[in-house]
Structure 1
Amino acid sequence: MDLTTTDVPVGEWTIHTHQAGDPADPTILWLHGSGPGVSALSNWAALITTMPGYHHVAPDLLGFGDSSHPEDLPLGVAGSAAARAEAMLGLLDALGVGRAHVVGNSMGGMIALLLVQRAPERFDRVVLMGSAGAPIEPTADLIKMITYYDDPSPEAMLDLMGRFLHDTGLYGDQIDQVAADRAEVAAREDVRRSHLRTFSPDGPLLVFPVEDLVAIEHEVLLVHGREDRIIRKESSYYLAELLPHAQLHVLPDAGHWVQIEQVDRFRSLATLFLGEDAA
């Protein structure tokens, strides 16, 4: 499947967006996670061109990659996630997508939950991968990611990638170059500013209360790496207990990047789950 990339105007912002597949097919909106140097393609490249029968929309979220980096991005995870959810609804409007499935990884999972709460009629099925949003103490490795800019460098990025992955050998001898490339993106001033505003202690965190989760009627697939050191698997246990129509799959030999370390398993799970909607 061919990939096309465009900068889509959304109000005062521009959202850098990758698309694959036929727009006449059901749409999947792919929402990446957070972290210095992250982008849509770094999360989803192995999936959005290998799942035929869908129209794939994979944007750099607001304040990430080559999308707009507002100087007034709300401080804190909760406020910045709300702005990103608003931008995603605007992106679907701009693309003429009335209804979509949504896949969210980590912070993208929180944004996916915000979307189905704000506009439930716009979304079909939901896939959450290593999603944050539970009332669970942050891990030391998550704190290391948040504080990356205390001492940024290619070496610090390589160390951080080792915390995200269960097995860095997946990248072979290319991992040093991958880390260097991500560190170069992270060194951009707009990327740094957005990261620091997102994780500012001057803004609130985002934790989903029980009453909000039990009210979500969508079918939800939760996927979590058993060895995830960034977001504990107990976060997905919390969500699975409360979301009325949720199923949970914990995959072995995988850290926080299930979509990279267990790409074939994830593709099979997602294809089966999303295909049920059309059955």
Structure 2
Amino acid sequence: MSIRNSRVAVGDLCFEVNETGDPAHETILFLHGSGPGATGRSNWERILTDLGDRFHCVAPDMIGFGDSSHPVDPPQGMSAFNDLRADALLGLLDELGLGRVHVVGNSMGGQLALLMTLAAPERIGKLLLMGSGGAPTTSVSPGLAHLREFYADPTADSLRGLLTEFVDDLEPLTGTIDAVVADRMTYVVRDDVARSHRASFNPHAPRRVFTEAELATIPHPTLVVHGREDRIIPLEASFYFADNLPNANLFVLAHCGHWTQIEHREKFESLLERFIAGVL
């Protein structure tokens, strides 16, 4: 199934939207993570094409990523920038005429899914958090440090090295990694993309952590998914979410890093479909 692309304005901002499936079906909103050059398509392309015959799948580039808007004077720090992103995503649902959607969030996308749910719980059906950030972990992994400081050496070799940190077993994914590097470098070299990355990872800005009290107010059915060998976000982060979201289940995949949907695509799709169907 081919992916449809469109430009959707939300106030002064504009989203690049990747979409498959019939809007009359249940909608799944896929939110990508924060890697250099990340886009909705590079994170979710195979998922969109595989599930588009059964669901309405929407995967925008987040504000500050890809071909969506890059504010000239962006909020500083992931917390402030994500507040803007989450608000814009709710506006995107309005512009697309979508009342209630299921949300899948990868890494930074998991944080955005939670922010959207806290702000407008009636708009969200089920939540799947995959290697989500926003837990009160104290350590910063070498992979996450590399991601944050990427623009100290924004080269293809550096990006390839970073992306190898995202997976547990590189060998079967070498071709995939090479393709992702080639695609993402077209964005990495852009000044607006670099500006948004530096703003998101401003080291002097405060960090956003979801408190136990906040998470307790989210009754939505939630599936927390994490790769056991994740070297970007520690497994303990997903234990925190599973412990504190009232209706969360946790699924840990063995021999899997930070990219569940790419390393174990068929398992991920099965988990997602069964979760939405209410059998998981």
Q: Given the alignment of the two structures, is residue 28 of structure 1 paired with residue 11 of structure 2, yes or no?
A: no
Determine the structure 2 residue equivalent to 1:237.
239
Question: Which of 258, 265, 268 pairs up with 1:266?
Answer: 268
Matching of residues 176-255 of structure 1 within 5 Å:
176-255=178-257
The residue type equivalent to 1:76 in the other structure is G
Shift of 1:173: 4.5
Structure 2 stretches lacking a partner, 5+ long: none
Shift of 1:182: 2.0
Cα pair distance change 1:124/1:187, threshold 3 Å: same
- What does the per-residue CA deviation read over 1:153-178, in whole Å, with 9 as the maximum and x for residues that have no partner? 11101110111111222333464453
Determine the structure 2 residue equivalent to 1:157.
159
Alpha-carbon distance in structure 1 between the residues aligned to 2:49 and 2:118: 29
Matching of residues 107-122 of structure 1 within 5 Å:
107-122=108-123
Determine the structure 2 residue equivalent to 1:257.
259
- What does the per-residue CA deviation read over 1:181-215, in whole Å, with 9 as the maximum and x for residues that have no partner? 32232111111000000011232111101100111
Structure 1 stretches lacking a partner, 5+ long: none
Q: Given the alignment of the two structures, is residue 101 of structure 1 paired with residue 102 of structure 2, yes or no?
A: yes
- 3-state secondary structure, aligned to 1:49: helix
Cα pair distance change 1:174/1:125, threshold 3 Å: closer
Q: Which structure 1 residue ranges, 4+ long, deviate > 4 Å from structure 2?
A: none
Cα pair distance change 1:28/1:39, threshold 3 Å: same
Matching of residues 10-25 of structure 1 within 5 Å:
10-25=10-25
> Sequence identity, in percent?
47
Count of paired positions: 278
Alpha-carbon distance in structure 2 between the residues aligned to 1:20 and 1:176: 25
Shift of 1:46: 1.0
Query: CA RMSD for the aligned pairs?
Result: 1.4
Alpha-carbon distance in structure 1 between the residues aligned to 2:136 and 2:144: 14
Determine the structure 2 residue equivalent to 1:140.
142
Determine the structure 2 residue equivalent to 1:69.
70
Determine the structure 2 residue equivalent to 1:48.
48
Alpha-carbon distance in structure 2 between the residues aligned to 1:162 and 1:132: 19
The residue type equivalent to 2:151 in the other structure is Y
Shift of 1:140: 1.7
Shift of 1:2: 3.1
Cα pair distance change 1:248/1:73, threshold 3 Å: same
Shift of 1:49: 1.6
Cα pair distance change 1:262/1:143, threshold 3 Å: same
The residue type equivalent to 1:105 in the other structure is N
Shift of 1:226: 0.6
Alpha-carbon distance in structure 2 between the residues aligned to 1:176 and 1:273: 32
Determine the structure 2 residue equivalent to 1:38.
38
- 3-state secondary structure, aligned to 1:6: strand
Alpha-carbon distance in structure 1 between the residues aligned to 2:89 and 2:176: 33
Shift of 1:130: 0.3
Would the aligned equivalents of 2:42 and 2:180 in 1 still touch at CA under 8 Å? no
Alpha-carbon distance in structure 2 between the residues aligned to 1:178 and 1:197: 23
User: Which range moves more in the overlay, 168-177 or 214-223?
Assistant: 168-177
- 3-state secondary structure, aligned to 1:217: coil
Would the aligned equivalents of 2:19 and 2:56 in 1 still touch at CA under 8 Å? yes
Would the aligned equivalents of 1:24 and 1:55 in 2 still touch at CA under 8 Å? yes
Shift of 1:228: 0.3
- 3-state secondary structure, aligned to 1:126: strand
Would the aligned equivalents of 2:44 and 2:59 in 1 still touch at CA under 8 Å? yes
Alpha-carbon distance in structure 2 between the residues aligned to 1:243 and 1:174: 34
Alpha-carbon distance in structure 2 between the residues aligned to 1:174 and 1:3: 19
Would the aligned equivalents of 1:30 and 1:104 in 2 still touch at CA under 8 Å? yes
Alpha-carbon distance in structure 2 between the residues aligned to 1:232 and 1:242: 17
